[in-house]
A and B are shown apart, each in its own frame.
With several copies, the nearest count.
Chain A
Amino acid sequence: MISLASDRTSGSPPIGTVRVAVIVFPGTNCELDAAYALELAGAKPDLIWHRQAQLDDFDSVVLPGGFAHGDYLRTGAIARFSPIMGPVGEMAAAGKPVLGICNGFQILCEAGLLPGAFIANSGLSFICRFVEVEVASTSSALTHGTTAGQVIRLPLNSYQGNYVDPTLTGRVVLRYMDNPNGAQGGAAAVANEAGNVVGVMPHPERAIEANLGSEDGMILLRSFLGAGPIETGRTPVGAQPESTRSGG
C-alpha cells in the first residue's frame, strides 16, 4: 500500500482536467447522479455503455449504483462479464483510481477487483436513510483527502449491503458508526492493497449540496478526483493497523 496523501501534492492532475468514465450497465440507475456530482466536483465525466471495450482516454472510472441486470442471480454477478470490465480491470492494475458505489461496489467484488461479497442486510429490509461513517484509513483513493477518525454523513440505499470477506484481505477505509446492515467489521467502504480500487456502499454522490441533507460526499469525491495514478510497491505512510481490516 502507499499513502495517497503524499501523491496529492505530487504528480496528480488538477481536478478540472480529470476525465472520469461513468459506466452504465442495463439496470444501472445512479449514472446521472454520479455524473452530476462529479461535474459539480469539477471533473469531466462521460457516460460509457457497458458494451464498449476500451477506456483509453480516461484517468479514472466510476461504477455507479443501481440494479445492473436487475440484481438477478446475485448482485453484480452478470455485470462483471460485460466487455467494459476488461478495460476497468486494466485501469485497476495500472493503479488508476477505480470507484464502485453501492451496486458498483458489488460488481467490483464479483469481478475480483476487490475481495469479499455481499449478502442481504441483517434486518432483511431495504435501507434508505442517512448514516454516519468514520474514516478508518486515509490510504485509499477515496479517503486520502480526509483525516483518520473524521465522521462523514452519507445516504445509504441498499438491500444487499451486508459485506462479507472470508479472506480478511479487504481494507476497511470507511466504517459505519452504527452498523445498520451487519457488514463484517462494519465495512462501509473497502479498498484493495494498493488503495486505488475502492468500493463504497453509501452514496457520496447523494450528499453534495446542503439542501439535499449533507455536503460530506463532496469531500470524498474531491479526494477521489485528486488521487491521480498510484505507483504501486511503496509502503504506506501510516499503514493501517490490523484492526481496520474487515475481519478485525
Chain B
Amino acid sequence: MKVRVEIVRRPEIADPQGVTVVRALRELGFGEVAEARFNRTIVLDLDGTDPLSARARVEEMCRRLLANPVIEDFDVQVIE
C-alpha cells in the first residue's frame, strides 16, 4: 500500500529556499510569482492492506520521526 506524507513547514517559519527561488524566477521573467514555499513529501510503501490502520501508523511515524513538531505540520494520504 502506498501512503503519501507531506511535511509542511509552518508559515511563520522562514523558508530560505522559497525566497531564493522567487528571486531566481523573477530574474527569469516570471514576475507573477509572489511567494514560493518548499515542502517535503515522502511516499511510503507499506506491507498490509487496511488503509485505516495504515494511515494511523503513518501518522504515528510522523509524530515520532518524520516531522519536527517545533517547525512542521504533516498531512497523510493513502494513495493506493
Contacts and interface: CB of A to CB of B under 8 A. Distances in A.
B52 to A, nearest CB: 26
B34 interface: no
Contacts of B10: 166
B14 interface: yes
A77 B70 contact: no
A77 B20 CA distance: 12
Given A69-B20, A120-B16, A77 B68 contact: yes
A77 B65 contact: yes
A70 B17 CA distance: 8
Nearest to A73: B21
A110 B68 contact: yes
B17 A164 contact: no
A72 B22 CA distance: 11
B71 interface: yes
A119 interface: yes
A72 B17 CA distance: 5
Contacts of A70: 16-17, 20
A116 interface: yes
Given A74-B68, A77-B65, A166-B12, A124 B28 contact: no
Contact of A72 (B13, B20, B70): B20
B47 interface: no
A211 B18 CA distance: 40
A49 to B, nearest CB: 15
Interface residues of B, number: 18
Contact of B16 (A117, A124, A166): A124
Please indicate which of the listed interface residues A74, A123, A166, A167 has the most CB atoms of chain B within 10 Å of its own CB.
A74
B17 A124 contact: yes
A182 interface: yes
B65 A117 contact: no
Nearest to B17: A72
B65 A166 contact: no
A54 interface: no
Interface in A63-90: 69-70, 72-74, 77-78, 81
Contacts of A120: 16-17
Contacts of B13: 119, 164, 166
20 contacts: A69-B24, A70-B16, A70-B20, A72-B16, A73-B17, A74-B68, A77-B68, A78-B20, A78-B65, A81-B28, A81-B65, A110-B68, A117-B70, A119-B71, A122-B16, A123-B16, A162-B14, A166-B13, A166-B71, A182-B16
Interface of A: 69-70, 72-74, 77-78, 81, 109-110, 115-117, 119-124, 162, 164, 166-167, 182
Given A109-B70, A116-B70, A167-B70, 15 more contacts: A72-B16, A73-B21, A73-B24, A73-B65, A73-B66, A78-B24, A110-B68, A117-B68, A119-B15, A119-B71, A120-B17, A164-B70, A164-B71, A166-B12, A166-B13
